[in-house]
Amino acid sequence: MIKTLKFGGTSVGSAANMRRVAGIIASEGARLTVLSAMSGTTDALVKISGAAKAGDNETAKATIGMLREKYSTCIDELLGANQQAATERMEDALATIANEIFTYRGEVSDKLILAQGELLTSAIFCYHMQESGHKAVLLTSPEFMHTDPEGKPDTARLGRELAARVTGTDPDIFYIAQGFICTDANGNISNLGRGGSDYSAALMGVAIGSDEVQIWTDIDGMHNNDPRVVDKTFPIRRMSFDEAAELAYFGAKILHPATIQPCKEAGINVRLKNSMEPQAEGTLISDGEDNAMDFHAIAAKDGITVVRITSARMLMAYGFLRKVFEVFEKYRTPVDMITTSEVEVSLTIDSTCHLDEIIRELSPFCTVEVDRDNTIVCIVGCIDYQHVGLAARIFDGIKEVPIKMISYGANHRSMAILIATEHKKRTLQALNDHLFDCDCGK
Ligand code: ADP
Ligand code: ASP
Ligand code: MG
């Protein structure tokens, strides 16, 4: 069985955790392992590049110093014979960052800075695998993970170039690669977006013809609600690709939203596992039947902006919505939820980078109102319209919460509700208490 395993930041966040991960890789017989940067690294790198751009060299220097300490400690605690080589590797990475900020006179490349986290973590980890007596080979993901001008991964090229490195070689080799990072269409180092290592693992897992992709993190699988916000959540043992994709899309942080699609297309099961507790069952995501419970899980996505568009021209007209959506398409801004009435359409977006341009282009033919700081709450389950009373159960649970938008009917697998973010916690908790019997974990 060919397995691709991915370990997130916490899983490789310390020397002790890296040791545990090496054991998991060996016992699972993982052909390919995809790693994130040690926890906190990418946030620190974002801070460094932000500080540098703002001319705050002191903060940039101090944060580089913090990273030096963090990685030196890990190297000291983890490595033996390779300590010197790993320290040199770390100094190279920190010098690349410092050079980008303090020496190079052009525009600071935050992508180059961000990439150092995964590059350094994977290098240290690979030394550890080798010192533990394994045949471990470090791959450099930007050599085979390329994106097109729209930022979409070139899966055909990935298939060819990763297979050329991995297939037909000694079956005892453990390949170690970086998640998150890639090369963009201009040949510059780039990334797949925050949390993108899960997506890297899915794409690489498909590329090498894996039988299973395992996403190892710090919790025992997909829970029925966000455990960071809600008391008494429980893990879901099995779920379908579609359900998992929906939950990830609507904010379940455990999975990057793009992770499921490549695995679903290739028919590769995805298993979510806890690296802190390898014996725990986790969650198996497969092509299987959706479970028959009315309500399976809830996810929430913050940072949602509502754009309310009003125009008398919409009344009995055709082509109006097309005109509206063309503007969003022109500015490459995805729309999540949409509701319509006689002369109004409300839609939600989570990227406001081009909002000013969008409003400018919409204004000649409609009135536009913007409402920020909202959260989409998505309830996933078997919400069949023929099963009368399910919507009532949902709303009964949150009758005290002001609801701004509702979306249901595109499928009968989910209902999405828009609320102001200030009501998120009590909404998620109320739904959890009302829709699930959390004490028996079902
Ligand atoms: P990694 O660094 O391994 O990629 P993440 O922090 O990205 O890990 O994702 C794991 C975290 O996702 C968990 O620690 C948990 O707090 C959070 N999370 C949010 N929603 C869910 C959910 N529905 N089920 C499980 N974990 C969730
Ligand atoms: N290290 C990256 C991040 O923090 C990618 C990942 O962890 O998936 O976003
Ligand atoms: Mg993650």
What are the pLDDT digits (tens) for 91-145? Answer: 999 999 999 888 766 677 899 999 999 999 999 999 999 999 999 999 999 999 9
Determine the distance separating the centroid of ligand 1 and the alpha carbon of 124, expressed in angstroms.
24
Pick the CATH number of 296-435 from 3.30.310.80, 3.30.2130.10, 3.40.50.11540, 3.30.1240.10: 3.30.2130.10
Instruction: Give the list of residues 6+ apart from residue 215 with CB closer than 8 angstroms, or none.
Output: 6, 8, 198, 201, 254, 255, 259, 270, 271, 272, 273
DSSP-derived 3-state class of residue 178: strand
Tokens found for residue 277: 């507790």
Domain 3-218: assigned CATH number: 3.40.1160.10
Ligand 1, atom 4, lies closest to the CA of: 8
pLDDT score recorded for residue 439: 61
| 119 neighbors 93 (Cβ within 8 angstroms) | yes
Determine the distance separating the centroid of ligand 1 and the alpha carbon of 228, expressed in angstroms.
8
219: Cβ below 6 Å to ligand 1? Answer: yes
Q: Can you list the alpha helix ranges (DSSP code H) found in 176-259? A: 197-207, 241-249
Q: What is the mean pLDDT of residues 171-193?
A: 97
What are the pLDDT digits (tens) for 286-345? Answer: 997 667 788 999 999 999 999 999 987 777 778 888 999 999 999 999 999 999 988 899
What are the pLDDT digits (tens) for 392-436? Answer: 999 999 999 999 999 998 888 899 999 999 999 999 999 999 999
The C-alpha R_g of the chain, in whole angstroms, comes to 23
Give the residue, out of 36, 225, 253, with the most ligand 1 atoms within 8 A of its beta carbon, to mutate for a pocket test: 253
| Phi, psi (deg, nearest 5) at residue 2 | -90, 125
Protein residues with CB under 6 Å of any ligand 2 atom: 8-9, 36-37, 42, 117, 179-180, 194-197
On the question of pLDDT at 1 being above 80, the answer is yes
> What is the reported pTM?
0.94
| 181 neighbors 190 (Cβ within 8 angstroms) | yes
* C-alpha distances in Å from residue 388, one per residue of 395, 399, 413: 13, 18, 15
- Please give the number of the atom of ligand 2 that sits closest to the Cα of 196: 8
Give the residue, out of 42, 122, 141, 182, with the most ligand 2 atoms within 8 A of its beta carbon, to mutate for a pocket test: 42
Ligand 2, atom 4, lies closest to the CA of: 42
Closest ligand to the CA of 114: 2
Determine the distance separating the centroid of ligand 2 and the alpha carbon of 39, expressed in angstroms.
8
Q: Residue 169: which pLDDT band, with cuts at 50, 70 and 90?
A: very high
10: Cβ below 6 Å to ligand 1? Answer: yes
Determine the distance separating the centroid of ligand 1 and the alpha carbon of 226, expressed in angstroms.
8
Determine the distance separating the centroid of ligand 1 and the alpha carbon of 192, expressed in angstroms.
18
Give the residue, out of 219, 224, 229, 247, with the most ligand 1 atoms within 8 A of its beta carbon, to mutate for a pocket test: 219
Which residues lie near ion ligand 3 (Cβ < 5 Å)?
8, 195
Q: Can you list the alpha helix ranges (DSSP code H) found in 142-184? A: 155-166
262: Cβ below 6 Å to ligand 1? Answer: no
φ/ψ bin of 303: left (φ > 0), alpha (ψ from -120 to 50), beta (otherwise): left
Domain boundaries, the chain: 3-218, 296-435
195: Cβ below 6 Å to ligand 1? Answer: yes
To the nearest 10°, report the CA torsion of 219, 225, 231, 236.
-60
| Phi, psi (deg, nearest 5) at residue 379 | -105, 120
Q: Residue 277: which pLDDT band, with cuts at 50, 70 and 90?
A: very high
Ligand 2, atom 8, lies closest to the CA of: 195
Determine the distance separating the centroid of ligand 3 and the alpha carbon of 313, expressed in angstroms.
45
Ligand 2, atom 6, lies closest to the CA of: 195
